[in-house]
């Protein structure tokens, strides 16, 4: 039973920048409801894990750590909740794998967290907030931010790309863009609080689109706003000194974006552009929508147009049917592009993503070997040793 005289919450975050922002929203809502936050779960009445399903390892780790905390609570004195993508992915199955879990909540339902905690009356009562609805774009925007100088700002939720290995569209739903005037207002409010650096968040920022602006705001002159237009709007906001964004998709990025980065000095010259593989055959199986030749052309354009351009990427090794030749193509791409930084992962099936229907036929030891080769190569490139 929650002791209303205490209401101490421990919130642990797993995963991407989207999850960081979601955790800020959860904390902001609960602080407005007069809950207190603690840095040590042993001092908490309520333990909440905000989880990521993109990688199997991250999912298993979150469930394992939370399971250990539940087992330690022998007196069943605490309330335990699991929110985010793992909740949406595993659903009611979590109550079987985590006896003592009190509630689950998907990414689209985090705005209901206050109601959820009010509904939790004891360890035998399971509260479930999962649905197939789109995440609301006119949502609660509590004041809490972790940093006093930097803030994440959602510009869109969900994803329509359905890359064959990726669970995000299933966990976070279809893509929906927030109104440009709402984003501009949020950034303006942040600037007034002293925030000088904002990072615009979307699963694919390049597909941002708002056809709805009906406003007298002098910054909003168009009837349709895409991502480049949005960048220009945010650039005009007084007090903002730096603008970053993640993540771009190679199939939608292009010269117009690069020219905007070069022209507007507040925009960070750092582009995260996931490659995933250097093999066109694997890229087709991944449903990425571009070729390695197109990717190389994008990088050439980016570096030609943007002074002091920096670049990071994501790469997956061991995708189903990845041959040694396919891997060598990826290694060659890393050598040729020379990324400033690369996030390199071993493939794992993520049902219901389509690639999970393919045989996971690259042996674990081969995945490990290829993973280590690319990690070592990228480390040398980052340190300018080759």
- Quote the percentage of the chain above a pLDDT of 90: 79
**291 phi, psi to nearest 5 deg:** -110, 165
Residues 205, 189 share a domain: yes
Strand stretches in 60-145, DSSP E: 79-84, 103-105, 127-129
Is residue 271 over pLDDT 90?
yes
Residues 316, 237 share a domain: no
Residues 246, 178 share a domain: yes
The pLDDT of residue 6? 61
Domain with 114 in it: what CATH number?
3.40.50.12160
For the segment 320-343, the average pLDDT, to the nearest whole number, is 98
- Look at residue 140 and tell me if it is in a domain: no
Token pair 């699991």 is found at 82
The structure's pTM equals: 0.90
Residues 104, 21 share a domain: yes
Residues 343, 310 share a domain: yes
Residues 183, 100 share a domain: no
- Look at residue 67 and tell me if it is in a domain: yes
Q: Output the 3-class SS for 326-352.
A: HHHHHHHHHHHHCCCEEEEEECCCCCC
**What is the C-alpha radius of gyration for the chain, rounded to an integer number of angstroms?**
22
The pLDDT of residue 139? 63
Domain with 339 in it: what CATH number?
3.30.750.200
- Look at residue 86 and tell me if it is in a domain: yes
The pLDDT of residue 270? 96
Give the closest residue to 348 by CA, choosing from 203, 163, 93, 165.
165
The pLDDT of residue 1? 46
Which run of H or E residues covers position 280? Answer: helix 280-286
End of a domain among 247, 268, 289? 268
End of a domain among 246, 268, 290? 268
Residues 259, 160 share a domain: yes
Token pair 């990845």 is found at 322
- Look at residue 362 and tell me if it is in a domain: yes
The pLDDT of residue 75? 81
Residues 273, 384 share a domain: yes
For the segment 278-290, the average pLDDT, to the nearest whole number, is 98
CA 385, CA 360: separation in Å to the nearest integer?
Answer: 35
The pLDDT of residue 224? 82
Residues 195, 279 share a domain: no
Residues 151, 97 share a domain: no
The least confident of 74-83, 131-140, 151-160, 238-247 is 131-140
Token pair listed for 21: 């922002």
The least confident of 96-110, 219-233, 238-252, 305-319 is 219-233
CA 29, CA 86: separation in Å to the nearest integer?
Answer: 21
- Look at residue 2 and tell me if it is in a domain: no
Residue length, the chain?
386
Is residue 220 over pLDDT 90?
no
Asked if the peptide bond before residue 352 counts as cis, ω within 30 degrees of 0, the response is yes
For the segment 255-268, the average pLDDT, to the nearest whole number, is 97
Compute the Cα dihedral for 168, 170, 172, 176 and give only its sign.
Answer: positive
Domains contained in the chain, number: 3
Domain with 154 in it: what CATH number?
3.30.750.210
The pLDDT of residue 341? 96
Give the closest residue to 326 by CA, choosing from 285, 269, 372, 386.
285
- The answer to whether 139 and 111 are in contact (CB under 8 A) is yes
Range of the structural domain that residue 38 is part of: 8-129
Residues 109, 38 share a domain: yes
| Average pLDDT value over all residues in the chain | 91
The pLDDT of residue 231? 97
Give 346-380 pLDDT, tens digit per residue: 999 999 999 999 999 999 999 999 999 999 999 99
Token pair listed for 332: 């060659």
- Look at residue 60 and tell me if it is in a domain: yes
Is residue 251 over pLDDT 50?
yes
Residues 169, 84 share a domain: no
Is residue 262 over pLDDT 60?
yes
pLDDT confidence of 15, banded at 50, 70, 90? confident
Torsion angle in degrees (nearest 10) through CA of 120, 124, 125, 126: 110
- Look at residue 32 and tell me if it is in a domain: yes
- Look at residue 162 and tell me if it is in a domain: yes
Give 18-54 pLDDT, tens digit per residue: 899 999 999 999 999 999 999 999 999 999 999 988 8
CA 15, CA 22: separation in Å to the nearest integer?
Answer: 11
End of a domain among 238, 268, 298? 268
């Amino acid at each position: 039973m929650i002791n209303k005289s205490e209401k101490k919450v421990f919130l642990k975050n797993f995963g991407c920048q989207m999850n960081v922002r979601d955790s800020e929203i959860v904390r902001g809502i609960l602080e407005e409801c007069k809950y207190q936050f603690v840095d040590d779960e042993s001092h908490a009445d309520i333990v909440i894990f905000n989880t990521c399903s993109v990688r199997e390892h991250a999912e298993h780790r979150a469930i394992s750590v939370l399971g250990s905390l539940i087992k330690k609570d022998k007196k069943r004195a605490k309330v335990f909740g699991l929110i985010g993508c793992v909740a949406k992915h595993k659903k009611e199955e979590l109550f079987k794998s985590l006896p003592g879990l009190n509630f689950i909540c998907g990414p689209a339902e985090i705005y209901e967290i206050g109601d959820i905690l009010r509904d939790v009356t004891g360890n035998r009562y399971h509260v479930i907030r999962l649905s197939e609805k789109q995440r609301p774009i006119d949502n609660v925007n509590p004041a809490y931010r972790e940093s006093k100088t930097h803030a994440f700002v959602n510009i869109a939720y969900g994803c329509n790309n359905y890359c064959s290995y990726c669970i995000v569209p299933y966990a976070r739903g279809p893509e929906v863009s927030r109104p440009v005037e709402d984003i501009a207002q949020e950034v303006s409010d942040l600037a007034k609080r002293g925030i000088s650096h904002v990072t615009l968040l979307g699963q694919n920022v390049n597909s941002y689109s708002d056809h709805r602006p009906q406003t007298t705001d002098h910054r909003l002159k168009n009837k349709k706003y895409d991502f480049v237009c949005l960048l220009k709007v945010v650039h005009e906001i007084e007090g903002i000194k730096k603008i970053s964004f993640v993540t771009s998709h190679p199939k939608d990025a292009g010269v117009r974006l690069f020219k905007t980065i070069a022209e507007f000095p507040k925009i960070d010259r750092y582009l995260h552009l996931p490659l995933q593989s250097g093999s066109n055959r694997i890229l087709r199986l991944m449903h990425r929508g571009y070729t390695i030749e197109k990717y190389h052309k994008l990088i050439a354009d980016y570096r030609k147009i943007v002074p002091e351009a920096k670049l990071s990427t994501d790469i997956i090794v061991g995708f189903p049917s990845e041959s040694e030749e396919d891997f060598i193509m990826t290694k060659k791409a890393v050598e040729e592009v020379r990324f400033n930084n690369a996030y390199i992962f071993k493939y794992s099936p993520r049902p219901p993503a389509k690639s999970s229907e393919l045989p996971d036929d690259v042996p674990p030891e081969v995945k490990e070997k290829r993973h280590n080769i690319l990690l070592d190569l990228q480390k040398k490139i980052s340190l300018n040793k080759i």
